[in-house]
Structure 1
């Protein structure tokens, strides 16, 4: 950033300015679903407690269950990183602002502005904390004083599916009682899922294709 640009942030000694894109999930995810349905994909909704519940109805399972993989994939490495943000109306805010630590940020969108945030490792609580909300609002107003005039302030809490070893993107062949179930694991994106989802999804699709094309191993017959 230039010296003139930095004058707006007297508490900072340097900064970076760049042009980027923002993907708004509330609009993007329904678009993806519509695209899938339009290509003939059947979407079913059901709750399962074990991947084997999908056998033999499905030849290959893609496990994108996020934090649910603690149970479904017995992956004890998975844990939540809780995040709390504020969703406010401030249509005059047009620029993204984020401090060096990444814990304070202002992300304007098409209809609202997201103010953040927190990273609470291992916290499963989905209830907003009023004190944390006040802290977020105060920090963001320090960066953009005009936010004092923001209205329609709403609190939101979410859980990021974090995995210390990184995204698990691999094929596992489950075996049980002579049965075989190919599972492509695709989870553990943490807070970066929206940034890398298209690339990891393509790789998951490639792994599924390998499973489909691979010769099937006959299920052993019982002599009993």
Structure 2
């Protein structure tokens, strides 16, 4: 066994990072303020796709690494919550995507946009599976509020929106997403139509627990309370694509705050004044699930490479 690592943050980014570290032989403890079901990750629509995330030059590699993991996990979908599902990105075209798109098998153009069979993840099930996998690797989870980043030899900061105050990093800010869960009227394919500059999006994802409808992308909005008018607009937009959605019974409302960062995802290593190592892994915007495993591997490598010598003064 190697040295001890504290991972602060228990959403999908923190758990995947902790798993990579623990399965490499490190003693890992995850600090989280609340159970995984209370994190932003639990509310995610969780379709694999690089959405509202920068820097583009790094995102592609992280996303493809994660795609390969999810493709394997889909072989045990009931256990992992990962399924490969067919769908349409309406109004999205290959020439608007980065080089990563050429490595997505089955991504193909059609008159409406791009069709693909992509990982779609039931996040409550997936988060529980991640916790079990971490425990099987010897990792532990502690529920504790971090008022500051801990003083420890190796710390990985996966606090998402919390990094705004903990680091502190004023570049971190919320992008509010509201969703509606309805009884699925028989829809099997997912659908997205995104206006990248506007606060409204249209998408629906068939999940085992119902049809997840979205959504919004409201920058700098911290409000976690569902807005009834917004919910009605979401349902109406989705029903324009599939009219049967209009009559579906509403099961639940969800709101999540995407942890955006002005200069993009931060995966970076620092040395603390006492000679310890602090690795940051936050700012994943609307694509934390999409890049989780790629970022986890990079952050774990940064955390466990040889630290700088301690000061003798």
Q: How many residues align?
A: 200
- Please give the alpha-carbon distance, in whole angstroms, between the structure 2 residues aligned to 1:63 and 1:215: 19
Of residues 187, 190, 203 in structure 2, which corresponds to 1:96? Answer: 190
- Please give the alpha-carbon distance, in whole angstroms, between the structure 1 residues aligned to 2:243 and 2:260: 33
**Is the 2:222–2:257 contact (alpha carbons within 8 Å) kept by the matching residues of 1?**
yes
Shift of 1:154: 1.5
Task: Name 1:41's counterpart in structure 2.
Answer: 139
Matches within 5 A, 1:2-151: 14-51=112-149, 54-55=150-151, 58-101=152-195, 103-151=201-249
Shift of 1:219: 4.4
Q: Which of 119-128 and 18-27 deviates more?
A: 18-27
Task: Name 1:181's counterpart in structure 2.
Answer: 276
Shift of 1:218: 3.8
Shift of 1:133: 0.5
Shift of 1:111: 2.2
- Rg (Cα) greater in structure: 1
Per-residue Cα deviation, 1:12-67 (whole angstroms, up to 9, x for no partner):
x733322222022111111111111111112112112111xx22xx3100000011
Task: Name 2:309's counterpart in structure 1.
Answer: 216
- Please give the alpha-carbon distance, in whole angstroms, between the structure 2 residues aligned to 1:63 and 1:17: 36
Structure 2: runs of 5+ lacking an equivalent: 1-87, 89-110
Shift of 1:181: 3.2
TM-score (norm 2): 0.61
**Is the 1:59–1:182 contact (alpha carbons within 8 Å) kept by the matching residues of 2?**
yes
Task: Name 1:9's counterpart in structure 2.
Answer: none
Structure 1: runs of 5+ lacking an equivalent: 1-5, 7-12
Per-residue Cα deviation, 1:102-156 (whole angstroms, up to 9, x for no partner):
7100111122111000010000010111110010010011100011231243111
How large is the RMSD of aligned CA atoms in angstroms?
Answer: 1.8
**Is the 2:277–2:307 contact (alpha carbons within 8 Å) kept by the matching residues of 1?**
no
- Please give the alpha-carbon distance, in whole angstroms, between the structure 2 residues aligned to 1:173 and 1:162: 24
Q: Which of 145-154 and 114-123 deviates more?
A: 145-154
Q: With a CA cutoff of 8 Å and minimum separation of 6, indicate the structure with the bigger relative contact order.
A: 2
TM-score (norm 1): 0.84
Task: Name 1:10's counterpart in structure 2.
Answer: none
Structure 1 stretches of at least 4 aligned residues deviating more than 4 Å after TM superposition: none
